[in-house]
């Protein structure tokens, strides 16, 4: 490990702060104040997260994961939430994401309080902030005002860094998003509450780079612990492995201390502590108390990436669907109320015309029979009696149709 470099650290921290402020120029603190009637948007989100964490401590990891995978791909626009056969959430890189149901629950509550006001993108950001603070991490303000995106494609997730990415490649991926190497090192601290599966680290434990041996970068005793208790050879189940086992439900600096002990679970975790350009960062974050404040700044910087504001994007009424079908692969948008009413009016008019044509046909038939009757003379036949009955039926039908029309105009089925 290389010693910490305070001057470089200070410069990096200033860049984080300055960048975050400039990127959030179009967002605002207390953005929803007074916009949701008597309800408080942030209180609704806070209470929902608190209730969930009371029985599911994993949710802090789920929300951090959602935030990163949403913001890193195409900006914080909630595109990760959209359903469809080829949307981002279907990408292999996003298979392990969870927490969608919590976002749905929060959105439903907010829609009941103030329809069409709060974006799904803001819900992800605010809910993550609350979960971090409730799980031992920093409490911090977030600026809101994001709008939701209308594009979501699985192929876009290909730029997400994987668990085995090397540090130079990871730095390059982050830099393309306007995030520097120190931002990267701090954001990887989210792994303090993360998990993986034995299948992901199998080669590190048993066949690193085809050698038939464990990864020499991992502490041998830790290899033995994982291979004996968590991931034994030939196990039937793909067990989970905590990325920071001593502190798996707390957002703290323990992740960096584990790396310094060579207990990094993922290849990229240990590489962060071993690479010459980032080793000093791990050492600094593990041995000082700066992680909480720096983590909050890094999360705010991440959550300000390529945000949609003003008239860009939309405010979804359902986080899983967008109003623009053409822009989202596989997503079906809700039908606007004005379009539904136009369709009702058209269907009603068509039904009225059909009834009018049927009545006109009956009238012509009746007139034809009356003409034939006058030609034959005044003697009434059985058929004439039937015609009178038909006239009575027509009158009854007219009365019934008028009653039906009054009801039908209000409710015409929408396909």
Q: What CATH code is carried by the domain that includes residue 264?
A: 1.10.420.10
> pLDDT tier at 26 (50, 70, 90 boundaries)?
confident
Q: Is the pLDDT of residue 155 over 80?
A: yes
Count the domains in the chain: 2
Angle at 131 between CA 126 and CA 134, to 5 degrees: 125
Q: Is the pLDDT of residue 396 over 60?
A: no
How does DSSP classify residue 34? T
- Known active-site residue 69: yes
Q: Are residues 112 and 50 in the same domain?
A: yes
In a domain, 338, yes or no: no
In a domain, 405, yes or no: no
Q: Compute φ and ψ for 61, nearest 5 degrees.
A: -65, -40
Q: Are residues 45 and 126 in the same domain?
A: yes
> pLDDT tier at 361 (50, 70, 90 boundaries)?
confident
> pLDDT tier at 345 (50, 70, 90 boundaries)?
confident
Q: Are residues 199 and 285 in the same domain?
A: yes
pLDDT mean across residues, the chain: 86
Dihedral Cα 288, 294, 298, 299, nearest 10 deg: 100
- 3-class secondary structure per residue, 211-240: CCCCCCCCCHHHHHHHHHHHCCCCCCCCCE
Q: Which residues are annotated as a binding site for substrate?
A: 161
Q: Are residues 269 and 190 in the same domain?
A: yes
Q: Are residues 264 and 185 in the same domain?
A: yes
Q: Which residues are annotated as a binding site for Ca(2+)?
A: 70, 73, 75, 77, 79, 88, 192, 244, 252
Structure tokens at 348: 């009603």
Per-residue pLDDT tens for 279-300?
A: 999 999 999 999 999 999 999 9
Q: Which residues are annotated as a binding site for heme b?
A: 191
For residues 351-360, average pLDDT: 80
Q: Are residues 186 and 93 in the same domain?
A: no
Structure tokens at 309: 């504001």
In a domain, 271, yes or no: yes
CA dihedral for 262, 265, 267, 270, sign (positive or negative):
negative
267-274 and 279-287 are packed helices; what angle lies between their axes, rounded to 10 degrees? 90
Domain with 281, as residue range(s), is: 167-302
Q: Are residues 61 and 177 in the same domain?
A: no
Highest mean pLDDT: which of 21-30, 106-115, 381-390, 402-411?
A: 106-115
Residue 73: which CATH number?
Answer: 1.10.520.10
CA dihedral for 282, 284, 288, 290, sign (positive or negative):
negative
Per-residue pLDDT tens for 38-59?
A: 999 999 999 999 999 999 999 9
Residues 6+ apart with CB under 8 A from 119: 78, 146, 147, 148, 313, 315, 316
d(CA 404, CA 42): 48
Q: Is the pLDDT of residue 328 over 60?
A: no
Q: Are residues 171 and 298 in the same domain?
A: yes
d(CA 275, CA 168): 9
In the listed set 302, 337, 369, which residue is the last one of a domain according to the structure? 302
Please, are residues 302 and 198 in contact by the beta-carbon 8 Å criterion? no
Q: Which of 69, 197, 263, 275 is catalytic?
A: 69
What element of type H or E holds 168? helix 167-175
Q: Are residues 272 and 239 in the same domain?
A: yes
Q: Are residues 209 and 272 in the same domain?
A: yes
In a domain, 53, yes or no: yes
At residue 351, the pLDDT reads 79
Q: Residue 64 burial (CB < 10 Å; 0-12/13-18/19+)?
A: buried
Share of the chain above pLDDT 70, in %: 80
410: left (phi over 0), alpha (psi -120 to 50) or beta: alpha
In the listed set 302, 336, 364, which residue is the last one of a domain according to the structure? 302
Q: Are residues 115 and 190 in the same domain?
A: no
Q: Are residues 181 and 117 in the same domain?
A: no
- For residue 381, the number of C-alpha atoms closer than 13 Å in the C-beta half-sphere is 9
In a domain, 351, yes or no: no
Please, are residues 277 and 248 in contact by the beta-carbon 8 Å criterion? no
d(CA 352, CA 358): 10
In a domain, 76, yes or no: yes
In a domain, 12, yes or no: no
In a domain, 362, yes or no: no
């Amino acid at each position: 490990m290389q010693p910490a470099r305070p001057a470089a650290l200070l410069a990096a921290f200033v860049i984080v702060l300055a960048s975050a402020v400039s990127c959030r120029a179009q967002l605002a603190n207390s953005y929803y104040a007074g916009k949701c009637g008597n309800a408080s948007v942030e209180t609704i989100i806070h209470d929902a997260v608190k209730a969930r964490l009371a029985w599911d401590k994993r949710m802090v990891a789920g929300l951090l994961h959602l935030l990163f995978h949403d913001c890193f791909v195409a900006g914080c626009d909630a595109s990760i939430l959209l359903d469809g056969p080829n949307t981002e959430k279907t990408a292999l890189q996003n298979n392990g994401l969870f927490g969608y149901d919590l976002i749905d629950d929060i959105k439903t509550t907010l829609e009941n309080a103030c329809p069409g006001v709060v974006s799904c993108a803001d819900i992800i950001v605010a809910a993550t902030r609350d979960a971090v603070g409730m799980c031992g991490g920093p409490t911090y303000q977030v600026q809101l005002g994001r709008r939701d995106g209308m594009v979501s494609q699985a192929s876009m997730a290909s730029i997400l860094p994987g668990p085995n990415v090397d540090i130079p490649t990871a730095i390059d991926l982050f830099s393309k998003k306007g995030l520097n190497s120190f931002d990267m090192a701090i954001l990887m601290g989210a792994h303090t509450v993360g998990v993986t599966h034995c299948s992901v680290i199998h080669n590190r434990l048993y066949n690193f780079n085809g050698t038939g041996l464990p990864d020499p970068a991992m502490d041998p005793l830790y290899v033995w612990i994982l291979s004996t208790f968590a991931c034994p050879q030939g196990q039937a189940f793909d067990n989970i492995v905590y990325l920071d086992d001593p502190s798996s439900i707390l957002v703290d600096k323990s992740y960096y201390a584990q790396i310094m002990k060579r207990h990094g679970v993922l290849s990229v975790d240990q590489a962060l502590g071993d690479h010459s350009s980032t080793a000093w960062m791990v050492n600094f974050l593990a041995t000082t108390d700066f992680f909480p404040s720096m983590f909050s700044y890094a999360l705010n910087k991440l959550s300000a990436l390529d945000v949609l504001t003003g008239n860009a994007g939309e405010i979804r009424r359902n986080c899983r669907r967008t109003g623009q079908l053409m822009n989202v692969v596989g997503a079906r948008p809700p039908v606007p109320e004005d379009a539904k009413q136009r369709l009702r009016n058209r269907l009603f008019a068509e039904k009225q015309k059909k009834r009018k044509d049927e009545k006109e046909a009956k009238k012509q038939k009746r007139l034809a029979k009356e003409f034939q009757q006058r030609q034959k003379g005044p003697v009434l036949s059985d058929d004439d009696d039937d015609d009178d009955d038909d006239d009575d039926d027509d009158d009854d039908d007219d009365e019934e149709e008028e009653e039906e029309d009054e009801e039908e105009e209000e409710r015409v089925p929408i396909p």
